[in-house]
């Protein structure tokens, strides 16, 4: 499958800052599978960019722009598929812990009650709980742009009953962790997503493989392309800064497949490749 994707960000740097971008395709693809171009300019002048990688393959691009209008453009073409992401013993431990936006410790009793019948019939089998939890979240929430704040966690989302993709994913992750299933959030390019934007989905460890669930059902899972992976949105934000002051003026994202979008059987286990 050939997939094309990219973004354009326009940022007003009001005070000098250390800026980090996570917009590039994850480095889990073999040589020759990805062609890409990342450009950063400040008031029309090129800005030097440094790349660092985290253990999951995410590529963080760091820059130190001065004051001015920063424009970031990224375009990539992915041909073929990456290997499925496999879990380590450390990840199995890490992704059971509560985190800033996926407060699993607040959901232990609630999750045990809501999924009592599933637990009684299937135990804590992750291959069963993953689609069941995603379906429950999808039915419980309404997708409403602007319904949530950037600081909202899974508890806020459950009480509000509405949100966007990151909120759906945080609630899915928190419930899965509360049920004893290691779970995490992945930022992705999502061909077919409407409205088009950077997309967030949940992943759960089944055996030694990470499989994806998208409670929003906005895009077929087999078309997703990984950008970054982490405990929650705090680890996967497309733009972050340390010190100084910035204002995001605009962002445009595109992601398409060559040909017809694939279907998606929500009961089937699918990995991001």
Q: Taking 90 as the threshold, does the pLDDT of residue 103 lie above it?
A: yes
Nearby residues of 248 by Cβ (< 8 Å), 6 or more positions away: 9, 10, 11, 239
What's the pLDDT at 56? 86
Tokens of 155: 């508890």
Same domain for 245 and 232: no
How much of the chain, in percent, has pLDDT values that exceed 70?
A: 100
Contact residues for 254 (Cβ-Cβ < 8 A; gap 6+): 4, 5, 6, 7, 196
Residue 260 lies in a domain: no
Give dist(CA 182, CA 99) in Å, integer. 12
pLDDT in the model for residue 69 = 97
Query: Phi and psi at residue 158, in whole multiples of 5°?
Result: -60, -45
Confidence of residue 31 (pLDDT cuts 50, 70, 90): confident
Domain that holds residue 180: 89-236
Same domain, yes or no: 28 and 109: no
Position 124 scores a pLDDT of 83
Same domain, 197 and 245: no
CATH of the domain at 15: 2.60.40.2250
pLDDT top residue among 188 and 29: 188
Q: What is the pLDDT of residues 203-234, one digit of tens each?
A: 999 999 999 999 999 999 999 999 999 999 99
265 in a domain, yes or no? no
Percent of the chain with pLDDT over 90: 90
Choose among 233, 236, 235, 239: nearest CA to 251.
Answer: 239
Q: What is the mean pLDDT of residues 1-30?
A: 95
């Amino acid at each position: 499958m050939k997939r094309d994707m990219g973004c354009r960000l326009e940022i007003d740097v009001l005070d000098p800052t250390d800026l980090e971008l996570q917009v590039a395709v994850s480095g889990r693809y073999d040589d020759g599978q990805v062609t890409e171009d990342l450009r950063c300019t400040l008031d029309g002048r090129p800005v030097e960019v440094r790349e660092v990688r985290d253990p999951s393959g995410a590529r963080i691009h760091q820059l130190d722009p001065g004051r001015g209008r920063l424009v970031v453009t990224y375009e990539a073409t992915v041909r073929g598929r990456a290997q499925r992401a496999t879990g380590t013993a450390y990840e199995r431990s890490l992704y059971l812990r509560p985190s800033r936006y996926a407060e699993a410790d607040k959901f232990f009793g609630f999750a045990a009650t809501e999924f009592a019948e599933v637990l009684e019939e299937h135990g804590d089998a992750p291959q069963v709980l993953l689609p069941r939890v995603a379906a429950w979240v999808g039915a419980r929430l309404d997708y409403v742009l602007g319904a949530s704040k950037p600081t909202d966690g899974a508890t806020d989302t459950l009480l509000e009953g509405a949100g966007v993709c990151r909120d759906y994913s945080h609630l899915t992750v928190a419930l899965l962790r509360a049920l004893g299933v290691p779970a995490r959030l992945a930022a992705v390019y999502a061909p077919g997503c409407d409205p088009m934007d950077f997309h967030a989905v949940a992943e759960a460890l089944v055996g030694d493989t990470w499989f994806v669930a998208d409670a929003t059902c906005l895009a077929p899972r087999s078309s997703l392309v990984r950008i970054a992976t982490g405990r929650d949105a705090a680890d996967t934000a497309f733009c972050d800064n340390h010190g100084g002051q910035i204002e995001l003026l605009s962002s445009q994202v595109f992601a398409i497949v060559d040909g017809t979008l694939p279907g998606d059987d929500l009961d089937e286990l699918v990995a991001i490749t």
